[in-house]
Structure 1
Amino acid sequence: MAHSEDTRITFARLPEIAPEEIIAHMSDPRMAEHMPLLTFTWDRDRLDAFVATKEACWQRDGLGHWAFLADGTYVGWGGFQKEGEEWDFGLVLRPENFGLGMRIAKQALDFARADARISYVTFLLPPSRRKLGALARLGARALGDVDYEGERFLKFRLDTM
């Protein structure tokens, strides 16, 4: 789906999105190509557990994951999750909306820059992701490989202060 610069990007909480929207998004076989931890089938029970986990982050940390909307239409989800002492940023868009990634990331990172608790954010990307220019344009730098839940990821850091 083509989007113009006039496309309005807004953030909502995950419970505000129709469950079938997220289930359809995460059931698209193209999603698993770059999500090595996506080894299960998305259904209503899986979605309910996922949303509950992400909402618990908001309760615990005051920041978490959003649903992303383009002109009111769900295009993906992502946001911040505290991993130990670090704030990790993730972005999971529907394949037809990948072109909105940089705009959404910049908008979300503005939240991090405005939060005095967050001096930097991290990004974990699977090694299958070869196009990393967007991270460089944001100013992120590579920290090396890390193991997360038994899978290898490339770790990057972006200073926000």
Structure 2
Amino acid sequence: MIELVRLTEVPLEEVLALLNEPRNAPHMPLASSFTAETAAAWVAAKDGQWVSNGHGPWAVLVDGEFAGWCGFQREPAGEDFALVLAPPWWGHGSAVLQQALGRGFGELGLGEVLIALPLSRRAERVLSRFGFLPDGEVSYGGAEFRQYRLTRERWSSSERGQGARVLDGGRA
């Protein structure tokens, strides 16, 4: 079972281990090494987005275990979805994305969602199953990313969006 909870509900040591996971580094061009202090500041900043934006990152729990983090972050072009899972949980990405999009378009009321992937990631097939369309390239912190866009209407008409409404009691 996948649960999305606030990052502050997860022990900092577990978040720190994820942030410093070397197998994730090739796909996270903006990441750096974290200490306990910088990880605590990172969690506080991510959690603070809930106050300033009405949404933000969640911790991802799979069967009660911390598996990673995901969520919507405000960027100049719109609401950007990020997902980082620890290697043992990499196979859960589609299920996490489906649940998060259902909540984003449902309870959070988002009109569209962006995903920016580093050039090292090739996820067009997976993202197209959710209804995402290519939306050019963007630069963050000097790194280049491929951007994809999904509207609420496109999500609602996609097979994944239909499935999310069933899972979420019709709220998506």
The TM-score with structure 2 as length reference comes to 0.84
Choose between structure 1 and 2: higher helix proportion.
2
Instruction: Check the 8 A contact 1:112/1:160 in 2, yes or no.
Output: no
User: Structure 2 stretches of 5 or more lacking a match?
Assistant: 154-172
AA aligned to 2:37 is D
* Percent identity over paired residues: 39
Equivalent residue pairs, number: 153
Which residue number in structure 2 is paired with residue 69 of structure 1?
61
- Asked whether 1:143 is paired with 2:135, we answer yes
1:16: which partner in 2? Answer: 9
Once the two structures are TM-superposed, the CA of residue 116 in structure 1 deviates from its matched residue by 6.8
Is 1:37 aligned to 2:30, yes or no? yes
Structure 2 CA distance, aligned partners of 1:28 and 1:114?
A: 32
List runs of 5+ in structure 1 lacking aligned partners: 1-7
RMSD of equivalent CA atoms: 1.3
Alignment of 1:1-161 (within 5 A): 8-38=1-31, 40-84=32-76, 86-115=78-107, 117-161=109-153
Distance 1:59 1:131 in 2: 31
Deviation for aligned residue 1:99: 0.7
- Letter of the 2:54 counterpart: G
Residues 3-51 of structure 1, C-alpha deviation per residue, up to 9 Å, x if partnerless? xxxxx1111111111111111112111111100001x211111111111
Q: Distance in 2 between matches of 1:95 and 1:138?
A: 22
Distance 1:118 1:85 in 2: 14
Aligned pair in 2 of structure 1 residues 48, 116: CA closer, same or farther (>3 Å)?
Answer: closer
Q: CA deviation at 1:55?
A: 1.3
3-state DSSP of counterpart to 2:40 = helix
1-structure distance, mates of 2:95, 2:138: 27
Aligned structure 1 segments of 4 or more residues deviating by more than 4 angstroms: none
Distance in 2 separating the partners of 1:119 and 1:57? 18
* CA distance in structure 2 between the partners assigned to 1:29 and 1:96 by the alignment: 13
Q: Distance in 1 between matches of 2:76 and 2:145?
A: 17
Using structure 1 for the length normalisation, give the TM-score. Answer: 0.90
